[in-house]
Structure 1
């Protein structure tokens, strides 16, 4: 790992350690460098404006000041491409357009040299973009979920039966390469899973959801989890 990349990873690890902090010895083991190198890196972070704190003695260590403003994070070219690849490969995911816009904002503030290297590396990463639902349909589903309003959908089942239903959105779920809208179907009076790619039309109504919860969906598969932060 190059030093610039190590400094980025080091600052992220310190941030995640919270009030506990983390010892220089553990940081050295984590990055396979000497304690002396770690302390030199910590000095560099502090000199760059990172709000570091240190606690001497047994049980002591280093951490990032809680609630303090961090200096702008500089991505490595590989990290920038990782973001681009993740968003490109999940173009059918909920709020993917917003994610793409967020990644673009990050790319726009990269220094020219890093951006050029990221662009070069990005040309070496190909993705097979899935067929997408219409933008209008996706936007309606996303708005209904975020605002917790009933959405009226036109949905065609796998068997070819088309129905129009009012659904109270509860969650989006991805399994076996497909995205689903999971919600309370007012027609069936039960929780139902609707394949997003089979929803031909969606309209957000002015009716607020009545309060159906995620617990009504049941237990998620063992390998499924909510989209929390990476340190969850």
Structure 2
């Protein structure tokens, strides 16, 4: 094995463990202790941040983030990865700070000149547009950390009311430029979706082994919870739409698949929704004006009528 191959293998080895000794790595790579010392010095020169601790219980460890070995990409793979990274650029805030900019800069820097020109040209033809929001998300990373290393957090959540809650985050997802956190809420004693920009305060709480919901979130996946409906606790939504109402609802991901369109362009929505989405649905369908007529559920229809009466007071004089 030549030196380049050994260094690649060495990067993978040091990434796999928290601490290691020179002799352990030398034995694993089948080289002398002196050669291993030279190879570790070579890693340091390449920018791998190694930290040594002397003494009987000492050794080496990677000081900061782990470093990936060199990876070979085809031209199409490199283009796809670069554009995938670019698709995140329009988000004002991400849970991993500026790592996207740093990764794209490194990736682009080492591309061949011809591929750089191809990507530059392609960026003039393809845009991954995300609606711009100026909402602050100071607790985006805190919620992600609580989902990755499961532990409860205490939040102040401000929607229609300002409430203190203890939640157990399962994961995050983004839709239409907004970030959402799926979590188990101790106050509601059920799963809920929280808009991340509405989390005003967040305090990490210690893991409570005696709380069953805390253990539950460790093995849960965010994907099944996106717009998930419990069949025992749903409301039947029925909305009649004009042709313009159909067009506007088709831009809403969670409604578009439920629209039945007729020959004259009008349409009908029939689907199940969670009771927790009623407040959102009131404002959404009111925003469609006369283009949508909510027929069911009766509770949602009543909430829309109440909101209309409140609005009417503003315009009576």
Counterpart check, 1:199 vs 2:196: no
Higher relative contact order (CA closer than 8 Å, sequence separation 6+):
1
Could you tell me which of 202, 209, 214 is aligned with 1:210?
214
Q: Mind listing any 5+ residue stretches in structure 2 that lack a counterpart?
A: 1-68, 229-252, 255-317
> Cα distance 1:153–1:109, how it changes in 2: closer, same or farther (>3 A)?
farther
Structure-2 residue corresponding to 1:137? 139
In structure 2, distance between residues paired with 1:221 and 1:94 = 22
Please list the CA deviations of residues 184-228 of structure 1 after superposition, one character each: whole Å capped at 9, or x if unmatched: 11222221111122223333333367212438997655999xxxx
3-state SS, counterpart of residue 72 of structure 1: coil
Q: Mind listing any 5+ residue stretches in structure 1 that lack a counterpart?
A: 1-68, 225-232
Moved more, 189-198 or 105-114: 105-114
Alignment check: 8 A CA contact 1:170 1:183 kept: yes
1:168 to partner: Cα distance: 0.8
In structure 2, distance between residues paired with 1:155 and 1:183 = 13
Superposed, 1:17-166 pairs within 5 Å as 72-76=72-76, 78-79=79-80, 81-89=82-90, 95=96, 97-126=98-127, 127-131=129-133, 133-134=135-136, 136-157=138-159, 159=160, 161-166=161-166
Alignment check: 8 A CA contact 1:85 1:125 kept: no
Structure-2 residue corresponding to 1:37? none
> Cα distance 1:118–1:219, how it changes in 2: closer, same or farther (>3 A)?
closer
Structure-2 residue corresponding to 1:57? none
- RMSD across aligned positions (CA): 3.8
1:73 to partner: Cα distance: 0.9
Alignment check: 8 A CA contact 2:82 2:107 kept: no
In structure 1, distance between residues paired with 2:183 and 2:226 = 14
3-state SS, counterpart of residue 143 of structure 1: helix
Alignment check: 8 A CA contact 2:157 2:200 kept: yes
> Cα distance 1:149–1:104, how it changes in 2: closer, same or farther (>3 A)?
farther
Using the size of structure 1 for normalisation, the TM-score is 0.50
3-state SS, counterpart of residue 207 of structure 2: strand
Structure-2 residue corresponding to 1:9? none
Using the size of structure 2 for normalisation, the TM-score is 0.39
State how many pairs are aligned: 154
Q: Which of these two proteins has the greater Rg computed from alpha carbons?
A: 2
Structure-1 residue corresponding to 2:56? none
Please list the CA deviations of residues 51-92 of structure 1 after superposition, one character each: whole Å capped at 9, or x if unmatched: xxxxxxxxxxxxxxxxxx996114457535522432225565
Moved more, 86-95 or 183-192: 86-95
In structure 2, distance between residues paired with 1:84 and 1:219 = 25
